[in-house]
Structure 1
Amino acid sequence: MKYSVLGPTGVRVSRICVGTATFGVAPSAHEADGVVGAALDLGINFFDTADVYGSTSTFDRPGAPPAAERESAEEILGRSLAGRRDEVVLATKSGERRFDPDAGLSRRYIIRQVEQSLRRLSTDRIDLYYAHFPDPNTPLEQTLAVYDDLIRQGKLRYVALSNHTAWQMTEALWIAGERRLVSAPVAAQVMYSLLDRSAEKELAAACVRFGLSIIPYAPLHGGLLADLSVLDRPIAGGKRYGGPGYSNAEIAVARQLDQLAREWGLGMQQVSLAWLLSRPAVASVIVGAETADELRANAAAADIELTREQLDVVSALTAETAS
């Protein structure tokens, strides 16, 4: 496993990060132990979760236990890491408003969620804590101030922003500098893949300029950039279980990528992830593996170095979406 330094922290994180959004569904709570164990054996030291993962209905699938009866992803991950907590960089987040009308980035809400996450994760500190989504009702100064307090208390080590724009990230850095906060945001988590390159329009340049890391999620675009068999999954409510509905243009790109991967003797998901890992400021890519074998296949991408010619060919498939 290869590693990158996370923004300006000096902390080394594996280039593959295990995402836990579907923990409790796929993998099940029992199977998650095997996925986490396989990750540690592979040298993966970076795990990503959130206060709403696992126990919400977002990732329901046929046969899955009802959301109200499931453990949260944080609880499952905390148990799976028992005895090995010090080996990993643990990231979680709060502030997603879809499931709780009181959610946001206020001082009251953040303090409550941090305490609950610490309990669910069975730990005394969180290495990287994200503001999950922007909160239009709370000044960014308040959010960063409470993060600063929690860092000084030793409950958080570093903070970052998720799903924020380049100007919001720049504003956060300016506020941290003006207020002389102990830690400014060190990374940006954002949806980013070959089929969604919107992060390259402004955010990537800002992260390069200020020395922040990008941590992409949904790097395989709901599975389409991993295996074309995802197109055969049943559709319900406009979405495939485990992935969104796809446009004809997206499917055409995926078919071209699949052909290239076959010609190069690689897996489609490995080319997708290796390409993303080559992009400026990208430190680690979040993958949501359902099984240990799937994780091993994805993790191999960290050791694949595509040639400049190969990278250019892949980039050209969706060049217009990055302009």
Structure 2
Amino acid sequence: MAAAATAAGAGEVATAAPPDRARSRRRARRRYVGSALLFLSPWLIGFVVFTAWPLIYSAYLSLTNYDVINDAEFVGLANYTELFQDPKIALALGNTLFYTAVQVPLYVIVSLLLALLLNRAGRSSGFFRTVFFLPKMTPPVAVGILFLLLFNGQNGLFNTVLGWFGIDGPSWTTDPAWVKPGLIIMSLWTIGASVIILLAALQSVPDELYESARLDGAGFWRQSFSVTLPIISPAVFFIVVVNTIAGLQTFDEAYTAFFGAGNTTYSNDAALFYVIYLFQQAFEFLNMGYASAMAWVLFALIMVVTVIQLIVSRRVVYYESEDPR
């Protein structure tokens, strides 16, 4: 009987042990989650206060007539209806789409060419990486002022250099046909970050792939299109997506050059981008409800464009982790 009692007691301990271990694991998991939330709390609080709440509140304001001074008046979808009737929305959106459609491919091509040159620079590449990246640190307002100095139709540096080759430069800042091309060229001033990203991608291409291609008789161009571009395509795709989003939100340089400090000397309509018109509605005309509706339309446009790019990337972007079969 004693042996039976001992065996029964041991069985009770054995059955009790697993629940104790489970409770210990739950406590440890709660402590782990609590510690993680504690360390994440500054970011979480900042996200809620400065991102999530403004998003929710702007969605509400887009359904109201609000001028900051008086209380918001609920108007439903009236602001969104007015968007489709405002001729300046079409003008601003057209300018923005044209700028983005031309600037992004040019930005990527020039970045890739400079990255290819740096990849062959050898030991001096570190110096040139710094030189190319430094303009990225220039404040956008300074870039806007620099635009007016360099692209002045009378005595700007850009037209002066063209004159050396017998080319009569256009009026970049006053001719509506040349305002956006000038801004597109000026955007290349901050190309350094993309060059560094593409250079890192180029340096990660395995040399064995080039050796195999050369053994198969592939020349420079064949290697570039069959080896280099597929391997660095994720970096190229990243730059395309990021610069597309930035292009659709173009504001600083164009506003400084053509709208800052009551500037009425230059052709403002040609440089009226969507975000500039949004800024005017919000802070010059105090149409906060209308500006909020514009912001949500821009958000939807960026989402649609990004989703399309992601769908296209499935066919054109190669990831080394993918099964080639």
Which interval holds the TM-score relative to the shorter structure?
Answer: under 0.3
Q: Kindly indicate which of the two structures has a greater share of residues assigned to strand.
A: 1
| TM-score normalised over the length of structure 2 | 0.24
Which has more radius of gyration?
2
Larger RCO, structures 1/2 (Cα 8 Å, 6+ apart): 2
Flag the structure with higher helix content. Answer: 2
